């Protein structure tokens, strides 16, 4: 059985949570809560910690990997039915990542490039990575995070030029609670991508110690999204951030240090592309692995080819234009993800708790291979 190191799992968890917010969260939060994005992120810490705890609780109280643990705790019929639903939602994340990246790339970088070529050249590496196995994919993602993440963050901080005005984060307090709740939902929906730990956690050396790495990944995620949301606001103000399609990219375009370092947005693209590869590879693996588990296949690799074609086609068909994409990101996807990746695991955890025999300490069933 493949083995992942805890560092690799940390990198995988972080990249699945952080890549999509890096591209879209600043605009979404500015459109919903104006300059109060940082308030939303602080408010989302509690739900995020709850999700981390829920995932860890399910992980240590299950013998099988996800979605097999659905059958383990809920029975074969309900387990397989829910597993089938989860396959499609995981696949939705794959397609969504492709769509966001394609729109980002074709809006800001190379408008003249055919979308099919772009999709082929982002799907192909992920396809090859999955064919070579989880360990290899995890190692590549580890390298990507260690090289790409500092670069991505430095580029954001370089955008703090002389026009930065921290008072653009004011005033605090003139917000509607419904907007703040929606913002917390948005941030929590990206945090819920950590659900992949239920599939990948059992592949680690010491699953019982995973809580440290899960908390660390979540902590880094909170810090990162805080930076991603605050810097566009102090650089552009909430009104301008809300109307731009990808504010982070504009930050990189507008960076000009002493008139010498400028036009560095291509470095940002170089950091984003591997990140998109990483989230694509992880959720694609989880999708194929879930198909293997639900349908009892011998190996998940047989599904990589067909799902690759489906992903490419759906990425073109899912949204007709970028405006529709943002409507889905703002109003539809968060509800889907928080329900499937958030509420269902909470219910599963409750079921595990209720079904646990009295007197049995928590976690005793998780003797991992």
Partner 1 sequence: MNIKPFISIIAILLISFLYCNGCYNRVDLGDSIAAVAHGLDISPDGTRVVSSGQFALPPQADDDDAPKFLVRSASGPTFSSAEQIMATSLPRDPVWSMAETFIIGENIARRDISLFLDHLARTNAVREVSLLFLAYNSTPEEVLKTETAPEDTAGRALVKMIQAQEAQIGLYSPVTIKEFLYKVSTAGVEPVLPQVKIESFEGKDRLSISGLAVFRGKQMVGSLNEQESRGYHFMQSNTRGGLFVINLPDPARPGEQSLQTLETINSTAVVKPVLNQGQLKMRITITAEGNIYEVAYPHILFDLSQLGLFEQQANAAIQSDVEACLRKAQACQSDILGWGQAIQRQQPALWENLEADWPAQFASIPYEIEIDFKLRRTYLQGRGSVEE
Q: Which residues bind partner 1 (CB under 8 A)?
A: 105, 107-114, 117-118, 121-122, 124-125, 128-129, 132-133, 135-137, 139-140, 143, 163, 165, 167, 170-171, 173-174, 235-237, 239-240, 243, 250, 253-254, 256, 262-263, 270, 273-274, 277
In the numeric block, which tokens belong to residue 361?
């300490």
Choose between 76 and 107: whose C-beta lies nearer to partner 1. Answer: 107
Quote the least distance from Cβ 112 to partner 1, whole Å: 4
Choose between 113 and 146: whose C-beta lies nearer to partner 1. Answer: 113
Q: Is the dihedral of CA 309, 311, 193, 232 positive or negative?
A: positive
Quote the least distance from Cβ 170 to partner 1, whole Å: 4
- Calpha distance 368→301 (Å, rounded): 23
**Please, are residues 284 and 304 in contact by the beta-carbon 8 Å criterion?**
yes
Choose between 173 and 320: whose C-beta lies nearer to partner 1. Answer: 173
Choose between 167 and 298: whose C-beta lies nearer to partner 1. Answer: 167
- Calpha distance 220→208 (Å, rounded): 21
User: Is 224 exposed, middle or buried (CB count within 10 Å of its CB: 0-12, 13-18, 19+)?
Assistant: buried
Choose between 68 and 275: whose C-beta lies nearer to partner 1. Answer: 275
Quote the least distance from Cβ 81 to partner 1, whole Å: 35
- Please compute, for residue 298, the number of CA atoms within 13 A of its CA located in the half-sphere on the CB side: 1
Quote the least distance from Cβ 46 to partner 1, whole Å: 26
Cα 58 to chain center, whole Å? 20
CA angle 149, 152, 153 (to 5 degrees): 90
- Any idea which residue has 């941030």 for tokens? 187
Choose between 112 and 320: whose C-beta lies nearer to partner 1. Answer: 112
Quote the least distance from Cβ 27 to partner 1, whole Å: 14
Quote the least distance from Cβ 275 to partner 1, whole Å: 12
């Amino acid at each position: 059985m493949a083995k992942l190191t805890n560092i690799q799992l940390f990198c995988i968890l972080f990249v699945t949570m952080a890549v999509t917010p890096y591209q879209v969260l600043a605009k979404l939060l500015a459109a919903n809560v104006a300059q109060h994005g940082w308030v939303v992120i602080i408010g989302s810490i509690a739900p995020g910690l709850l999700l981390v705890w829920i995932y860890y609780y399910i992980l240590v109280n299950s013998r099988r990997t996800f979605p097999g643990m659905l059958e383990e705790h809920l029975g074969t019929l309900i387990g397989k039915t829910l597993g089938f639903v989860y396959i499609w939602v995981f696949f939705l994340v794959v397609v969504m990542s492709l769509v966001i990246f394609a729109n980002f790339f074709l809006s800001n970088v190379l408008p003249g490039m055919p979308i099919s070529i772009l999709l082929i050249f982002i799907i192909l590496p992920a396809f090859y990575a999955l064919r070579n196995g989880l360990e290899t994919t995890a190692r590549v993602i580890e390298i990507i995070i260690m090289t790409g993440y500092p670069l991505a963050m430095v580029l954001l901080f370089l955008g703090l030029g002389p026009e930065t005005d921290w008072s653009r984060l004011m005033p605090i307090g003139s917000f509607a609670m419904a907007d703040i709740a929606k913002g917390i939902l948005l941030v929590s929906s990206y945090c819920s991508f950590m659900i992949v730990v239920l599939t990948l956690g059992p592949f680690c050396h010491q699953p019982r110690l995973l809580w440290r790495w899960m908390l660390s990944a979540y902590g880094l995620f909170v810090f990162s999204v805080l930076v991603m949301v605050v810097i566009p606001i102090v650089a552009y103000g909430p009104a301008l951030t809300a109307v731009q399609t990808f504010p982070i990219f504009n930050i990189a375009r507008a960076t000009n240090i002493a008139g010498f370092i400028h036009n560095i947005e291509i470095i940002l693209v170089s950091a984003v592309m591997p990140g998109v590869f990483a989230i694509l590879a992880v959720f694609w693996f989880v999708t194929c692995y879930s198909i293997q588990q639900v349908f009892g296949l011998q190996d998940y690799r047989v599904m990589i080819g067909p799902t690759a074609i489906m992903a490419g086609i759906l990425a073109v068909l899912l949204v007709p234009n970028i405006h529709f994409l943002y409507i889905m990101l703002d109003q539809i996807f968060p509800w889907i993800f928080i329900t499937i990746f958030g509420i269902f695991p909470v219910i599963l955890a409750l079921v595990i708790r209720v079904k646990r025999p009295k007197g049995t300490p928590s976690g005793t069933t998780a003797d991992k291979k």
